[in-house]
């Protein structure tokens, strides 16, 4: 299998594969605590989760080991898509690990495991996401859906929200 690195890298985001895992790396010009809070705040999730042209509704978000999350992604050109999972590990402002399931027929059995790490580098935050797929075939299937373009757009929206939040008084 060719590495994803050969398929995608731009000025902001690096995406590459390692066996059946997809790794995303991006530096955000925001303190680690703000980046962490943006991931853990159900009021902020709808402001950035999903590619351009989509909206997200947080149905459930219980951020603790064993807690569950569920979001509904909506777009004008398709049916709603529910996503869900369980938090496996939560180390505030450092990392979290969760399961990731597309909650539609034919997809529920394809459970991914995602680990997000938040690294403070001189007041900025390096965010790394490692998504483990059940198999290389599952990874290739996910890539065929356009997930890299959608993921980059999601992180672009995330960065725009961080910029907006950093510029406003809390």
The overall pTM is greater than 0.85 = yes
User: Could you tell me the residue range of the domain that residue 119 belongs to?
Assistant: 4-166
What's the pLDDT score for residue 6?
47
The string of pLDDT tens digits covering residues 116-160 is 999 999 999 999 999 998 888 888 888 888 888 899 999 999 999
Domain count, the chain: 1
The string of pLDDT tens digits covering residues 73-124 is 999 999 999 999 999 999 999 999 999 999 988 888 889 999 999 999 999 9
Residue 170 has pLDDT above 70, yes or no: no
- More confident site: 125 or 4: 125
Taking alpha carbons only, the member of 70, 54, 49, 47 closest to residue 163 is 47
Give Rg (Cα) of the chain: 15
DSSP for residue 3: -
| Residue spans of alpha helices (H) in the chain | 32-40, 45-48, 136-144, 147-166
Q: Is the distance from CB of 21 to CB of 160 less than 8 angstroms? A: no
What's the pLDDT score for residue 71?
98
Q: How many CB atoms lie within 10 A of CB 15?
A: 22
The string of pLDDT tens digits covering residues 14-69 is 888 878 899 999 999 999 999 999 999 999 999 999 999 999 999 999 999 999 99
DSSP for residue 9: B
What's the pLDDT score for residue 168?
60
What's the pLDDT score for residue 169?
45
List, in sequence order, every residue forming a beta bridge with 119; answer none if it has no partner: 126
Output the six-digit token pair for 5: 């690195």
Q: What is the CATH number of the domain that holds 131?
A: 3.30.530.20
Q: Is the distance from CB of 21 to CB of 30 less than 8 angstroms? A: no
What is the rounded CA–CA span in Å between residue 39 and residue 93?
A: 10
């Amino acid at each position: 299998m060719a590495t994803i690195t050969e398929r995608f890298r731009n000025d902001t985001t690096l995406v590459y594969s390692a066996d059946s895992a997809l790794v995303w790396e991006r530096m955000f010009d925001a303190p680690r605590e703000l980046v962490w809070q943006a991931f853990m705040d159900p009021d902020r999730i709808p402001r950035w989760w999903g590619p351009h042209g989509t909206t997200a509704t947080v149905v459930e978000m219980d951020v603790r080991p064993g807690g569950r999350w569920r979001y509904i992604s909506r777009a004008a050109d398709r049916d709603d898509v529910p996503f869900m999972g369980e938090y496996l590990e939560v180390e505030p402002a450092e990392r979290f690990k969760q399961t990731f399931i597309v909650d539609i027929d034919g997809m529920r059995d394809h459970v991914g495991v995602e680990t997000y790490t938040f690294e403070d580098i001189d007041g900025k935050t390096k965010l790394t996401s490692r998504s483990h797929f059940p198999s290389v075939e599952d990874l290739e299937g996910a890539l065929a859906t356009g997930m890299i373009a959608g993921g980059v757009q999601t992180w672009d929206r995330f960065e725009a929200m961080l910029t907006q939040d950093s510029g406003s008084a809390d």
